[in-house]
C-alpha cells in the first residue's frame, strides 16, 4: 500500500512529464519519452556544424563558416550576414554583355553587379556585338561596315592609327589611340610605350637600378647604367680588395661597398681596425705599429732646446737623432723660446704660455673670439696689458663665426668644411667620394665646385676637369672644332681643325698601353692619358690586358674571359701542387693530386704525394719506424 501511494505521488508531480515537441525545458526528465522529438539527451548544446561560433538555430547556413549573423557581406552572390539580402551595401557596377570579346559590350544588354558577369565588359557602345572587328576603337576600313561605331561607313578608308603620348617621351600608349587621316595633337605613330606616365620609361631608355623596367623589354634592372662598384670582401671585415671589383645594383654576398683592405684574408686587418704592436699594418695606413705599446712618439727639436715641434714627429721604439719626447716648443727655430724660458720684454712668447711679454710690464696680444669656442681670429686682435672681454690668447681659429670649427674640433665627413682647421677638407672621411658640379650636363664637372659625399648628389659627377662648365660642347672628351674655343680642354684653341675628321681615342687609366672601350674621347690629336687601342678588359689595373701573363690573383689578366686556374694559360710558376691528405698528417696521396691557385675549401691537402697510408696519421715519411709492428711506418718501403 505504501509502495502504491509513493508511485501515485511520483506520477502526479508537475514538471516531470516529457514534452512531445520541445526538449529545451530544464525541468523535463533526462530520459526521453517515446514521443519526444529528439533521441538525444536534452542537456546537449545546439550543434555548430561549420565551427563559425554560431549554432545552427541562429546560423542561416551552418555548412559555410563565411556565413553567419554579423559577418562581412562579400561580393559572392550569398547572404553572408543572414539578413535575407544578397551583396547589399557593396559598390554596384554596370556591365555590358560582350559576345565578341572585343572589350566593348552591347549597350542594350546592361547588368548591374559588384563583380563582372561571365562574358561581360565594363563599357558599352558596341554597335555589332557579334563582330570583334567592330567597336568604338576599331580602325575604320573599306568593308561596308561601321567599324568604329560612329554612325558612318568607310569614312576613313585611308586613316592611320595614332597613339597618345601622355609623358612626351616620343613613345605612345598602345591602349590609348585614335584612327584618323591626320595626326591629332599629342598623338604619335609609335605605340610601344610600356609606361606612358613616366618620361624616363620607354623602349631603349637607360636601364636603372630602381626596380622598374625602364627600357620596356619586360626585364627589370638588367645591365643598369647606374650600378655601384663593390669590392670582394673575403674576410668579411666590411672592407674589400681594391683589385677585386664588380658592379651591381645592391651589394652582392661576400662584397663590401668600401675598398682599401690591404690584407683581405685577415679580418683583423682593415682601414677600420685598431693598430696593434704586432709587426703588421693593422689599419692599412702604410705604417706598422704606429702609436702602439712599445712605440713612442718623438718630436723634432730643430733648435736644440730639448723641446720639440708638436707638428713634426716620428713614432719609433728608440729616439731618432734630433728628436725628443717633449712637444711643447712654440718656436722650434729659436733655442731661447720654450716652456719655462724666462719671459722678457721682446714681443715674443718666450715661455710658450700663449702670452707675449706677460709679467714684464709689457702688453699682450689678444685675439677676438666671436663664436666663443676659445679659439681666436688671428686677423682681429688687440694689444693690451689685461685680457679684453671676448678676446683670447689663442689665434688658431680658421672660422671665427662657427663654434664647431676650430683646431680642437673633429673632422666631419662630407660637409666640405675644414672642421679642425688643419688646412684639409674632409680628410680621413671613410666611404666618401668627391663629386663635381656639372652645370652644363655634359658628364664633366667643374673642378673648383665639389661635394664630398657617400651618395652622388643630383647634378654632380665623378669626373672633373671641365674647363667651361657652362657649355656642354666643351669638355675633355669633346672634339676640337673651329669655333675659337678650347673644346677639348687641352689648353689649345681650334688645333687640328684645318682638315680631316676627328678620331676616337680610349682612356688608358692604368697605363698599360691598352684602352677602355667604354671611356672614349673624340679629338684630332691624341689626348694625354688616351691610346688608340680599345681592348683592355679591366682598365683599373695594369696587370690585366690582352696577352698579359695569367696569374693567380682572381683577375682575368689576359682578357680571355677566364681567370686563375680556370684559364689554361695560367703560369705554371703560379700554381700550387696539392694532394688530398685524408688523415691530415701533412702528407698527401699520390693518386689524388692536382695543381691549382689555392687549396679547396674544407678539403685537407698537402704539398707532397708520398703518404703510403693516407688513412693513418701515424704512418707517413716523417715518423720514426717502429720495430716489430708489421707496419712500414716511415713509408720507405721496408717493414722492420
Quick one: pLDDT at residue 513?
Answer: 93
CA distance linking residue 557 with residue 544, whole number of Å: 4
- Is 449 exposed, middle or buried, given 0-12, 13-18 or 19+ CB atoms closer than 10 A? middle
Q: Do residues 196 and 166 lie in contact, with contact meaning Cβ atoms separated by under 8 Å?
A: yes
DSSP 546-578: TTPPB-SSSS-TTSSS--GGGSTTB-GGG-EEE
Amino acid 228: pLDDT:
83
The DSSP annotation for 353-380 comes to SS-SSTTTT--EEEEE-TTSSS---TTS
Q: Which parts of the chain have pLDDT scores under 50?
A: 1-23, 25, 27-36, 38, 40, 499
DSSP 108: G
Contact 121, 95 (CB under 8 A): yes
Cell of 81: 550576414
Q: What is the pLDDT of residue 277?
A: 64
pTM: 0.28
Q: Report the DSSP beta bridge partners of residue 504.
A: 522
* Radius of gyration for the chain, computed over Cα atoms and rounded to the nearest angstrom: 45
- pLDDT number for residue 95: 86
Q: What is the pLDDT of residue 237?
A: 92
pLDDT of residue 158: 67
Distance CA 98, CA 114 (A): 17
Residue count of the chain, please give it.
640
* CB burial of residue 432 (10 Å; 0-12, 13-18, 19+): middle
Amino acid at each position: 500500500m505504501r509502495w502504491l501511494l509513493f508511485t501515485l505521488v511520483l506520477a502526479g508531480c508537475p514538471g516531470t512529464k516529457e514534452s512531445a515537441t520541445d526538449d529545451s525545458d530544464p525541468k523535463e526528465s533526462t530520459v526521453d519519452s517515446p514521443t519526444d522529438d529528439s533521441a538525444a539527451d536534452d542537456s546537449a548544446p545546439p550543434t555548430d556544424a561549420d565551427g563559425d561560433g554560431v549554432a545552427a538555430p541562429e546560423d542561416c547556413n551552418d555548412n559555410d563558416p563565411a556565413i553567419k549573423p554579423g559577418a562581412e557581406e562579400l561580393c559572392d552572390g550569398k547572404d553572408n550576414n543572414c539578413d535575407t539580402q544578397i551583396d547589399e551595401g557593396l559598390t554596384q557596377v554596370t556591365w555590358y554583355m560582350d559576345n565578341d570579346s572585343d572589350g566593348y559590350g552591347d549597350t542594350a544588354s546592361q547588368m548591374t553587379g559588384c563583380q563582372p558577369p561571365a562574358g561581360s565588359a565594363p563599357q558599352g557602345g558596341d554597335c555589332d556585338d557579334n563582330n570583334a572587328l567592330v567597336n568604338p576603337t576599331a580602325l575604320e576600313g573599306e568593308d561596308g561596315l561601321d567599324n568604329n561605331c560612329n554612325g558612318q561607313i568607310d569614312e576613313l578608308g585611308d586613316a592611320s592609327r595614332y597613339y597618345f603620348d601622355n609623358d612626351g617621351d616620343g613613345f605612345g600608349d598602345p591602349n590609348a589611340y585614335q584612327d584618323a587621316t591626320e595626326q591629332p595633337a599629342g598623338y604619335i605613330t609609335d605605340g610601344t610605350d610600356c609606361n606612358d606616365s613616366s618620361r624616363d620609361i620607354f623602349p631603349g631608355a637607360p636601364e636603372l637600378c630602381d626596380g622598374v623596367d625602364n627600357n620596356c623589354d619586360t626585364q627589370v634592372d638588367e645591365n643598369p647604367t647606374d650600378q655601384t662598384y663593390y669590392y670582394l670582401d673575403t674576410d668579411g671585415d666590411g672592407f674589400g680588395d681594391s683589385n677585386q671589383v664588380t658592379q651591381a645594383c645592391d651589394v652582392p654576398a661576400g662584397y663590401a661597398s668600401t675598398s682599401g683592405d690591404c690584407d683581405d684574408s685577415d679580418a683583423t686587418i682593415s682601414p677600420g681596425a685598431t693598430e696593434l704592436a704586432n709587426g703588421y699594418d693593422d689599419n692599412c695606413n702604410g705604417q706598422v705599429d704606429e702609436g702602439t705599446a712599445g712605440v713612442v712618439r718623438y718630436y723634432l727639436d730643430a733648435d736644440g732646446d730639448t723641446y720639440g715641434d708638436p707638428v713634426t714627429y716620428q713614432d719609433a721604439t728608440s729616439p731618432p737623432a734630433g728628436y725628443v719626447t717633449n712637444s711643447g716648443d712654440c718656436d722650434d727655430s729659436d733655442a731661447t723660446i720654450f716652456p719655462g724660458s724666462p719671459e722678457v720684454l721682446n714681443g715674443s712668447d718666450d715661455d710658450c704660455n700663449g702670452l707675449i711679454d706677460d709679467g714684464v710690464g709689457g702688453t699682450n696680444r689678444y685675439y677676438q673670439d666671436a663664436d666663443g669656442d676659445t679659439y681666436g681670429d688671428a686677423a682681429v686682435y688687440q694689444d693690451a696689458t689685461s685680457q679684453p672681454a671676448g678676446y683670447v690668447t689663442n689665434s688658431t681659429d680658421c672660422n671665427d663665426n662657427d663654434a664647431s670649427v676650430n683646431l680642437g674640433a673633429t673632422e666631419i665627413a662630407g660637409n666640405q668644411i675644414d672642421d679642425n682647421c688643419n688646412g684639409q677638407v674632409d680628410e680621413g672621411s671613410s666611404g666618401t667620394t668627391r663629386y663635381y658640379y656639372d652645370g652644363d650636363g655634359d658628364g664633366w664637372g667643374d673642378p673648383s665646385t665639389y661635394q664630398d659625399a657617400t651618395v652622388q648628389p643630383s647634378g654632380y659627377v665623378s669626373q672633373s676637369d671641365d674647363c667651361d662648365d657652362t657649355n656642354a660642347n666643351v669638355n675633355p672628351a669633346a672634339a676640337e672644332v673651329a669655333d675659337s674655343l678650347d673644346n677639348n680642354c687641352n689648353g689649345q684653341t681650334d688645333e687640328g681643325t684645318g682638315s680631316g675628321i676627328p678620331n676616337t681615342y680610349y682612356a688608358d687609366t692604368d697605363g698599360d698601353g691598352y684602352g677602355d672601350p667604354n671611356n672614349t674621347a673624340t679629338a684630332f690629336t691624341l689626348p694625354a692619358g688616351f691610346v688608340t687601342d680599345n681592348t683592355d678588359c679591366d682598365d683599373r689595373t695594369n696587370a690585366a690586358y690582352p696577352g698579359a701573363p695569367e696569374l693567380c690573383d682572381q683577375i682575368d689578366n689576359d682578357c680571355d674571359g677566364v681567370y686563375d686556374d680556370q684559364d689554361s694559360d695560367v703560369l705554371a710558376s703560379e700554381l700550387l701542387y696539392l694532394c688530398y691528405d685524408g688523415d691530415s698528417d701533412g702528407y698527401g696521396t699520390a693518386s689524388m693530386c692536382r695543381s691549382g691557385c689555392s687549396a679547396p675549401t674544407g678539403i685537407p691537402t698537402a704539398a707532397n704525394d708520398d703518404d703510403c697510408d693516407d688513412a693513418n696519421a701515424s704512418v707517413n715519411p716523417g715518423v720514426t719506424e717502429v720495430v716489430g709492428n708489421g707496419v712500414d711506418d716511415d713509408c720507405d718501403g721496408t717493414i722492420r
